[in-house]
Amino acid sequence: MYRTHNCGALRIENVGEEVTLSGWLQTSRDFGGMTFIDLRDRYGITQLVFNMDDDADLCQKARKLGREFVLKATGKVRERSNKNPNRNTGDIEIEVTALDVLNASKVPPFTIENDTDGGDDLRMKYRYLDLRREQVQNNIIFRSQLALETRKHLSGEGFIEVETPNLIKSTPEGARDFVVPSRMNPGQFYALPQSPQTFKQILMVAGLDKYFQIVKCFRDEDLRADRQPEFTQIDCEMSFVTQDEILATFERLTKHLFKSTIGVKLGDFPRMEYDEAMKLYGSDKPDIRFGMQFVEFNDVAKGHGFAVFDNAEMVVGICAEGQAESYSNKHIKELTAWMQRPQIGAKGLVYVKWNNDGSVKSSVGKFYSDEQLMTWLEKAGAKKGDMLLILSGEDEKTRKRLNELRLEMGRRMGLMKEGDFKPLWVVDFPLLEWDEESGRFHAMHHPFTSPKKEEVDRMLNGDHETMKSLKADAYDLVINGVEIGGGSIRIHDRALQSRNFDLLGFSKEEAEAQFGFLLGAFEYGAPPHGGIAFGFDRLCAVLNGQNSIRDFIAFPKNNQGRDMMIDAPSPIHDEQLEELSIDLRKQEAH
C-alpha cells in the first residue's frame, strides 16, 4: 500500500495517527538538526519532518533528495508549533519514521510553480511537468467537472448522448477536412468530422428526439493564435421544437453550469436581433457588460463643409463617459495611432470633448460651431466630462472599426469587470451572405439552416435580391463578447434543402454525392428539428475569465499543428504508405 491518506487530507483531528503518504517533493529545507520536506500531490501539500536526534540516518537520507523526487513516507501526525493558515493541512505535520524513494527526478527544466520560469515551447515539450502546476491542473479538473455537469443536466432533461462516427465522408465545404486513407478501399478516404451536423439530423429523422454529445471535432485550418486542429463541442439537437424552446433549454443549461461550477447565478438572457447588434455595436457578438452604444451623426454632421464627413456613407461614434479630461492631445494621438494600425485600418478619429467647465473642444472645431457640437453631444446623451469618439466612411467597415474602439475603451475604462457575466442571445441572422469575390452565396450559419417559416415562399420563389434579405431561425449565445455557441432550426423538407444547395452553388450531382443520404432521409418522415452547439474549450475559458482555450486542453498543439511533447506529426514507414496505396509528392522548392 502506497498511502493511507492523500497529501491534502490530514487535519488536527488526525494528530496521533500513524499514516503513510506518497507524493512529490515540492521543497526541502534544512535547519541544523531538522529537515522539512513539503510533499505534494493533486490534493494538497503536507509537511514532513525529519529529526537528527531521532534518526540521523533517515534525516541524512531526506537531505539528499531533490525537487520532484517521488516519496513514500510513514510516520505519526503531530500538531505544528508554527501553523500555516494558508494551507488545509497547515495545522499538522508528519514525524517521519520510514521513507521510500519511489522514483528519482532529474532537475526539472523549469520550476513547478504557478509563477513558472518556463517559456511556452519548453512547457509544451515537458507538458507532464507543466501539468503538475496547480493552475494548469485546476483547469483540467474544472473541465472534467464542467463536462460532468453538462451531462447530468442534459440527461436530466431527457437528452440521450449518442456517439456519432469519427470516420466519415469528406465534404469539401467550409473549412478543410482532415482525411484518412482507407487501406481496405484503395484510393478512397474517410474524413474526420468538422461537426456531427448531418448525423445529429439523421438521429432526429430516426426519432431520437433529444440528442447531445460532448464530441471532438476536427478542422484543418491555418492555425491562428487560439485555434486548435481538434476541439470539443457540446453538440445538441431536438425534434418538434421551436426556436424559443431551444433557447429556453440551453439558457437553463448555461445557468446550471454557471451555478454549479463557479457559483454564479445568471439572470434571464436578453435577446437582440442581428441587425440591431450590428447597428448598435458593429458586431454580432457584443459585450454588453457596458453600454457605449453607437450613435449615428449623419443628420447633424453632414453638409457643414467638412469633406471627410460629407463624403462618408456613415458618421458614427460612441460616448466615452467621464473621459473628456483624461484624454490630452497626446492621449488622443496615441489612440488614433492605435486605430490606424493595419489590423483595424481607420483613417482617422474625431473627438468632441465636453469639459467639466462646460466648454466644448473638438478636433473638427473649425468646421462646426460649439452650438452644432452641442447637438451632437445631446444626441449621444452626453454629460459634462464625457467625450465623443467618431469614425466615418463606408457603413459596414466603419461600424467594425468602431466596435474595436468601443471594446478598447471598455478595457481602458475598466468596464469589462472580472466576475461580471452578461449573456446575450443574438437572433434573426440572415440566411445567406452574398460574396462578391466568388460571385455566390455563402450560408451565414450552415447549409442546413432553415429560413424563417414566413420566408419559405420567398426563398422558393424569390429573385436574387430577395435572397439577400432572407432571415433565418439562427441564433448565437454570446457571453461578454465571446461567442459561446450557435445553432438554428434546420430544413426538414427535401425541396427546400435542394433549393438551398442550389443557391449555395452546389450542382445536383455534388449535392447528391455529398448529402444524398440526408436528402433521402428527408423523404421518410423527417420531423421539424433544430439544435445548437457550444464550443466546450471556449466555455471553459470564459467561465474562468480567461482568453486562451489552450490552457484548458490537456495536450494542445502549437500554432504549426504540432504536438511538441510526442513530436507529431511525423514521417511514417514506406510499408505503411504502400499498404495505404499512397505516395508522397516530391516537394517543390518554394
- Considering only residues 24 to 83 of the shown chain, the ones binding a copy of itself according to CB under 8 A are 24, 40-43, 68-70, 72
The piece of 168-176, 395-403, 471-479, 541-549 that touches a copy of itself (CB under 8 A) is 168-176
Q: Does 232 bind a copy of itself (CB under 8 A)?
A: yes
For residue 245, what is its C-alpha cell?
Answer: 424552446
Closer Cβ to a copy of itself, 309 or 515, answer by number: 515
Q: Does 188 bind a copy of itself (CB under 8 A)?
A: yes
Q: Does 563 bind a copy of itself (CB under 8 A)?
A: yes
The answer to whether the beta carbons of residues 171 and 152 sit under 8 Å apart is no
Considering only residues 86 to 115 of the shown chain, the ones binding a copy of itself according to CB under 8 A are 102-106, 108
The piece of 2-10, 332-340, 428-436, 540-548 that touches a copy of itself (CB under 8 A) is 2-10
Q: Does 548 bind a copy of itself (CB under 8 A)?
A: no
For residue 130, what is its C-alpha cell?
Answer: 507543466
For residue 335, what is its C-alpha cell?
Answer: 489612440
CB of 396 to a copy of itself, least distance (A): 31
Whole-angstrom Cα distance, residue 406 to residue 282?
A: 9
Closer Cβ to a copy of itself, 56 or 148, answer by number: 148
Provide the 10 A C-beta neighbour count for residue 365.
Answer: 12
Q: Does 473 bind a copy of itself (CB under 8 A)?
A: no
CB of 11 to a copy of itself, least distance (A): 18
**E strand map for 457-514:** 474-479, 482-489
CB of 226 to a copy of itself, least distance (A): 17
DSSP 321-360: TT-TTT--HHHHHHHHHHHHSTTT--S--EEEEE-TTS-E
Whole-angstrom Cα distance, residue 213 to residue 151?
A: 8
Q: Does 22 bind a copy of itself (CB under 8 A)?
A: yes
CB of 27 to a copy of itself, least distance (A): 14
CB of 465 to a copy of itself, least distance (A): 30
Q: Does 511 bind a copy of itself (CB under 8 A)?
A: no
Q: Does 456 bind a copy of itself (CB under 8 A)?
A: no
CA 506 to chain centre: 32
Q: Does 3 bind a copy of itself (CB under 8 A)?
A: yes
The answer to whether the beta carbons of residues 203 and 521 sit under 8 Å apart is no
The piece of 114-122, 126-134, 248-256, 405-413 that touches a copy of itself (CB under 8 A) is 126-134
Helix (H), strand (E), coil (C) string for 143-211: HHHHHHHHHHHHHHCCCEECCCCCCECCCCCCCCCCEEECCCCCCCEEECCCCCHHHHHHHHHCCCCEE
CB of 435 to a copy of itself, least distance (A): 19
Considering only residues 192 to 231 of the shown chain, the ones binding a copy of itself according to CB under 8 A are 192, 198-199, 202-203, 205-209, 216, 218, 220, 222-223, 229-230
CA 240 to chain centre: 30
Of 19, 45, 124, 129, which lies in the binding site for a copy of itself, with binding defined by CB under 8 A? 129
CB of 187 to a copy of itself, least distance (A): 5
CB of 485 to a copy of itself, least distance (A): 18
Q: Does 590 bind a copy of itself (CB under 8 A)?
A: no
In order of 25, 97, 107, 108, 149, the CA distances from 103 in angstroms are 11, 19, 13, 14, 36
Q: Does 240 bind a copy of itself (CB under 8 A)?
A: yes
Q: Does 178 bind a copy of itself (CB under 8 A)?
A: yes
The piece of 251-259, 268-276, 416-424, 519-527 that touches a copy of itself (CB under 8 A) is 519-527
Taking alpha carbons only, the member of 60, 67, 2 closest to residue 33 is 60
CB of 366 to a copy of itself, least distance (A): 53
CB of 370 to a copy of itself, least distance (A): 58
CA 473 to chain centre: 23
Whole-angstrom Cα distance, residue 55 to residue 44?
A: 27
Bridge-based pairing of strands 474-479 and 482-489 is: antiparallel
